Amino acid sequence: MRKFFLTSFLFFTLLLFSCGKNQFNSDQSTNKSFTPADTIDNEAALLDSIDRANNESIIAKGDKITKAFVFSSDSTIFFTVNARLTHRFFGYALPNIKSKRLILFSIFSSDVDNNPFGCELGAYYDTKEIRYFALKYLVTTGDFIKAIAIDKNYRTTDIYFEKKWIEFER
């Protein structure tokens, strides 16, 4: 009797898996196939969900955020992580949050690890991690500050940060 139940169980298990395999094969025969566009759509959806979740977390923190500082002596922009506070802000190519994202500072590993947003200048937890360039404040323009990234060969890239993420040393 025990042998009968074991044999029946194995038979139904095999039947179940083979049916699933046939169903998958029949989908392929109706010309439903996986395309590179599906991968792009999935990656974009993942980035959108990371972006949305991390933005909501920042909004929920209210005033409990870390801001970058501009040193009055040399206009250097300095930013360090505070474990009790949170942060997440982009540097943009133009003074517009819809423009190209050039750099990201975030407390979230999902934002920083492997630079998932493809920021040209990278994604960092703070400015101490930046090895190849320095950030310098230039001017305030509306709701943004204009800064430059200066590399070791004195090549520059303009960057705009939302003013709400920057404080000036007094």
**H, E, C per residue of the chain:** CHHHHHHHHHHHHHHHHHHHHHHHHHHHHCCCCCCHHHHHHHHHHHHHHHHHHHHHHHHHHCCCECCEEECCCCCEEECCCCCCCECEEEEECCCCCCCCEEEEEECCHHHHCCCCCCCCCEEECCHHHCCCEEEEEEEEECCEEEEEEEECCCCEEEEEEEHHHEEECC
> Would 40 be classed as within a structural domain?
no
> Would 26 be classed as within a structural domain?
no
> Would 52 be classed as within a structural domain?
no
pLDDT value, residue 35: 46
pLDDT string in tens for the chain (170-residue length): 555 444 554 444 444 444 444 433 333 344 444 444 444 466 666 556 566 655 565 555 566 668 898 999 999 999 888 877 888 899 999 999 999 999 999 989 999 999 999 999 999 999 999 999 999 999 999 999 999 999 999 999 999 999 988 999 87
> Would 6 be classed as within a structural domain?
no
> Would 56 be classed as within a structural domain?
no
Structural domain that includes position 162: 63-168
> Would 118 be classed as within a structural domain?
yes
> Would 78 be classed as within a structural domain?
yes
Number of structural domains the chain divides into = 1
pLDDT value, residue 91: 97
> Would 32 be classed as within a structural domain?
no
